[in-house]
Copies of this chain bind each other. A is one copy, B any other.
Amino acid sequence: MSPVPVPAVPRPPLRVALAGLGVVGGGVVKLLQANRELIARRAGRAVEIVALSARDRHKDRGVDLSPYRWEDDLGALVAAGDVDVVVEMIGGADGMALTLARQALSGGKALVTANKAMIAHHGLDLARLAEEKDTPLKYEAAVAGGIPVIKAIREGASANEIARVYGILNGTCNYILTQMERNGASFADALAAAQAEGYAEADPTFDVDGIDAAHKLSILAALCFGTKLDIDAVATNGIRDLIAADIREAEALGHRVRLIGMAERNGSGLYQHVQPCLVPADHPLAYVPGALNAVVAEGNFVGRLFFEGAGAGAGPTASAIVADIIDIARDEYGPAFAMPVDALDHAPSADAGARVGKHYVRLVVEDRIGVLAEIATAMRDAGVSIESFIQRGTDDQEGVVIAIVTHEGPARAIAAALATVAASDHVVGAPMHMPILTL
């Protein structure tokens, strides 16, 4: 006789409280309304919003909030007895968001957050709290928006030792760079266009200086390498110093310029850097257009995995948040960083100066005799070997643009050469240098 399956007892709904109702919060409400039945089928139980809190109750968010209880007080939202999951969408590394997160986890509630700054700065503490209370802490939306890259690395690539993880982690910068590529715009003009299109904030610092990407990179690194999150160890350069000629020369060299966050573990420790890089035209990152994000993870058995999708926006971010909620509804979750916090290594920072690779160097110089010799001498004295050297007049800068591609060598040598060169009276502004991504 075949076994008679026990009739499944329907599981009670998972009750969700939303804190923060900006663009993302509104997206989560819309998603949970629009895909309600589908989510119940997939999660094996209903997912129900029970309570909301945000600064302004009366703002029109284009979505019907009347079915849900409104709490003016975040503490009351978190403490409510009918809340299983708190979704933090307030933002900011500290302040109200952090207070809420701690309260939620301390109270044994599940916490879902899209807050990369908070996870980058306080992720370990929050994960420890979640462990103590045996409750989920999930943050898929904090990295690369709608791309399920936290899951792909935490679980999909879990059998692999990861050599490198890197990618395009900031859609604003990628939008600006692809604008510069398409129409030869200056950084300032491309930024203005991005602001006009809603891809960049009025104060673009967090994006264009690489801070947002650094937050995300530090999270990816912890997951890939089983190391303790260390946002302070991420060296960060943004894209403000790029000029139109950089994009043009990169193209002429068969490359595209992308802001790349890369973490790499080697013998000396963990290297974490956000910086503009030259990406070879036969690498998939070279084809990531506009505001998309993409992440590459290189595993010792799987080889190169590449994930691309929308890195921001209401819909994609809501998709990631609700995926986390569904995991919780299914009881399919575990330690936030794939292992208990105490099992994470403390990895020392790698000696970035020893990192070997090819570099792109660009200088703007006065058009006069002897300047070339001065630069070539500085390079030689620093032990930098030159693979190619292009000199062109330019119309968007005063002076002459010199673009150099070096042979493989340590970053330290490039830095030494550039320090000498930058001190020259004949060099206009700061030299630009970018590593060339190896396949």
Chain B residue nearest to A309 (CB atoms) is B305
* Cα of A305 to Cα of B305 in the assembled complex, Å: 13
Q: Does A44 contact B (CB under 8 A)?
A: yes
Q: Are A155 and B305 in contact (CB under 8 A)?
A: no
Q: Which residues in A have some Cβ–Cβ distance to B below 8 Å?
A: 2-3, 5, 8, 27, 30-31, 34-35, 38-39, 41-44, 131-133, 140, 146-148, 151-152, 155-161, 226, 282, 284, 287, 289, 299-310, 315-316, 318-323, 325-327, 330-335, 338-340, 343
Q: Report B-chain residues with C-beta under 8 Å of the C-beta of A147.
A: 156, 305
Min CB distance A417 to B, Å, is 35
* Cα of A152 to Cα of B327 in the assembled complex, Å: 12
Q: Are A303 and B309 in contact (CB under 8 A)?
A: yes
Could you list some 5 contacts between A and B, CB below 8 A? A27-B301, A31-B159, A35-B159, A42-B158, A151-B155
Min CB distance A314 to B, Å, is 8
Residue among B3, B42, B159 making CB contact with A338, cutoff 8 Å:
B42
Q: Are B338 and A315 in contact (CB under 8 A)?
A: no
* Cα of A318 to Cα of B322 in the assembled complex, Å: 30
Q: Are A158 and B326 in contact (CB under 8 A)?
A: yes
Q: Are A161 and B306 in contact (CB under 8 A)?
A: no
* Cα of A152 to Cα of B299 in the assembled complex, Å: 17
Min CB distance A140 to B, Å, is 8
Q: Are A334 and B334 in contact (CB under 8 A)?
A: no
Residue among B2, B31, B44, B152 making CB contact with A152, cutoff 8 Å:
B152
Q: Are B340 and A334 in contact (CB under 8 A)?
A: no
Min CB distance A395 to B, Å, is 29
Q: Are A309 and B309 in contact (CB under 8 A)?
A: no
Chain B residue nearest to A147 (CB atoms) is B305
